[in-house]
Structure 1
């Protein structure tokens, strides 16, 4: 979804609003919620819900109470209450849908929520933009301080409070870090209050964003709000190669999309025998080598000949297992494998259709020969006329 300021410019090149997550129309931000109740009026006598959702840098969202009864709409820049001073954010949701979001995030409506002071003035916005411009330079200097102190941590992002009196540093670390000296050095160098907050690798990728191996934006930075545990068993059920370089995402952990189709694969595998199934035949014991869930085919090979695979359908494998339960052995895998191709004729189709792959080369030679003939005929005609 894009806003009007992100429309395509001259020459077909996208201009972009260049607001880096602070778009005023809230049309191209992370985790944007569409208010489908905005055009509906409330029943007679019912007051509008006085809690609004406000978004800050990246994907951080919080709920604030509109105690002053301000007329707020999506995209308004407001000054909100903070522990000390005030913060600047953008309204992302108002009205009855806020109740749904609060219920989803398990936030009580009767809790003491912070308040919205006012709509941000031009002075508030100018100061907010000014401190936001310092974040990259301060992040770079803070990383240098952490390296000098020998701290095994990575400062991934810095978020300034709207009034510029406080900055939150988000970092990742494998172990517990004693950063008391780092806070003293940064407070002395920057002249602000420092808040250190540790996040996980998935949360870091969510805040920074990026492009995944699928060519699209990361799910965690666009729509994914909860991080469920992903194990290698999900890759095994989907018959994916256990290659860490292919299964890992931008955060270095297993990709969250491994869980998207896992339930479908588990349901499809219910009618299949397990991968460690052994078939007892007169030619020997056969082991399962591969399973194709969509085609319903399993490949088996004998213990003495593991390189020669025989394809069997799921029903044929269950038939052989029934014989084995009755303490009987099947004749051979070749007998069942030949049945799969006895009644089927293999036909090949031309994927291009009736056209030839060299159809673009033939007219060129004909045109050239016709042009040469026409030139020769024209010369003969001119010589005869002369």
Structure 2
């Protein structure tokens, strides 16, 4: 793409002052990025010294909006550079503003290429664009978008089957050219009256084709580059589906059609190479009869000049050179059948179609991809049942590590050691309360040991 300051209609000059060379990428229109100039031509004579007695060619090529170009006579011998804005004579009254796209001897070659006689060029270059011309030109270009939408609304109100694709204002803001596409003839006389009343300018209507519309609007193709019709392609040749058949392409209209809705122009680029390669390949041999069966043609490698045959029900394909195929075809015409085609040298595996649960065409998963009916669910482990210990007996409530301490002699009641005193009392005491009771008993016993007189008095008294 071109630089941002010049790809929208400016130039590629070295200065930003009005009336001088427009600012841009500082290459004066030779950057070859296809964004500054559509259908641009590289001036390979720009750095060459011309003879001293050389008289410059007085015809200049000027570029306007889109890919429209025209030739003008430089009657005043102005020094012009590529990318400069000039005021030129239009086909109707007033003046128009354009950018110089080519000067010098290369213009003579362009005239010859377009079959234009230099003597028939009568339009003139008035002057270099001044500040007032540039200001009026920019104001006119700002009105194009709004004018196009208003014109589309007027055509829709009138019920006309047409599509207004672009509007081009003249540099002096006195005339507008409307480009439209339609399947047939359209009676737009009433539309012109309403547009003239609404816009207060002269109206010109031009019908263009789908390819010309894509050329004017531009865009990015499926190859990732700018459209050929908007950069360098000038003549639009007819493209048919036979071009895709000769190149063994799938007849998918979505893949073969361009942005204009027609077949891509690039289908014709390699067609001549394929046609030359197909001259030696027989096109009337679809099967070969042998004593072991009938072999059918599966595919043809055009550039390797190899044809692949296979028998019904066989998984292997047999490659045969073109000379061998012609020889076997001649034998079949004579009524003779060969023993076999030969041994299969390569096994071609046919890929099985993969059936997905959802479509992932543009990188977006389906919202219902998780709603699978046959999805395996993990089995949940059963929870342990909670046992109610309220109605259990004492032996059942005793932990396993303490059951060994329980002694139950025959014909005697259950006796439990001191470690289970809290449980014998009903199990209401907590372990902390039991520890506190033990400490109190221990402290009381120590105090009684430290009082021997008291113990003796008690004994004697008794």
The alignment's TM-score, normalised by the length of structure 2, stands at 0.67
Q: Is the Cα contact below 8 Å between 2:316 and 2:346 reproduced in 1?
A: no
1:95 — aligned with what?
104
Residues 344-383 of structure 1 aligned to structure 2 (within 5 Å): none
Instruction: Give the alignment partner of residue 278 of structure 2, picking from 257, 269, 279.
Output: 269
* Cα separation, partners in 2 of 1:341 and 1:151, compared to 1, 3 Å: closer
What runs of 5+ residues in structure 1 fail to find an aligned partner?
A: 7-15, 343-386
Q: How does 1:318-333 map to 2 (within 5 A)?
A: 318-333=326-341
Question: Alignment RMSD, CA only?
Answer: 2.0
How far residue 96 of structure 1 moved from its aligned partner, in angstroms, is: 0.2
Partner of 2:268: 259
Out of 133, 146, 152, which is 1:137 matched to?
A: 146
Indicate conservation of the 8 Å contact 1:22/1:29, yes or no. Answer: no
- 1:52–1:63 Cα contact (<8 Å) kept: yes
| CA distance, structure 2, for counterparts of residue 238 and residue 52 of structure 1 | 43
**Measured at CA, do residues 117 and 337 of structure 1 come closer, stay the same or move farther in structure 2, by a change above 3 Å?**
farther
2:68 match: 60
Runs of 4+ with deviation above 6 angstroms: none
Which consecutive unaligned segments of at least 5 residues does structure 2 have? 14-28, 348-462
Corresponding residue for 1:80?
A: 88
Cα-to-partner distance string for 1:312-354 (whole Å, 9 max, x where unaligned): 3333312312333444212223xx243x459xxxxxxxxxxxx
* Greater gyration radius: 2
Hey, what does 1:201 align to over in structure 2? 210
1:147 matches 2:135? no
- TM-score (normalizing by structure 1): 0.80
Partner residue of 1:168 out of 177, 202, 205: 177
- The correspondence for 2:40, drawn from 6, 29, 32, is 32
How many residues in Structure 1 have an aligned counterpart in Structure 2?
326
Residue pairs, 1:258-337, within 5 angstroms? 258-274=267-283, 276-302=285-311, 305=313, 309-333=317-341, 336-337=342-343
The worse-fitting range, judged by mean Cα deviation, of 247-256 and 16-25 is 16-25
Match of 1:157 in 2: 166
How far apart are 1:311 and its partner, in Å? 3.1
Paired residue secondary structure (2:329): helix
1:187-227 CA deviation, whole Å, 9 max, x = no partner? 10000000000000000000000111111111111111111
Indicate conservation of the 8 Å contact 1:102/1:108, yes or no.
yes
Aligned pairs (5 A) from 1:96-111: 96-111=105-120
- Pick from 209, 221, 225 the counterpart of residue 212 of structure 1: 221
Alignment partners' CA distance in 2, 1:157 and 1:169: 6
- Counterpart of 1:47? 55
Structure 2 contact 71–121 (Cα < 8 Å) conserved: no
Deviations along 1:275-301, whole A, 9 cap, x unmatched?
Answer: 653323223443323212233332224
Q: Give distance in 2, aligned partners of 1:175 and 1:309.
A: 52
Task: Work out the CA distance in 2 between the residues paired with 1:306 and 1:181.
Answer: 70
Shift of 1:52: 0.4
Could you say if the C-alpha distance between residues 132 and 51 of structure 1 is closer, same or farther in structure 2, counting changes exceeding 3 Å? Answer: same
Q: SS of the residue aligned with 2:168?
A: strand
Flag the 1:311–1:122 CA change in 2: closer, same or farther, 3 A: same
* Contact 1:50–1:65 (CA under 8 A) maintained in structure 2: yes
Change in 2 beyond 3 A, CA 1:276/1:210: farther
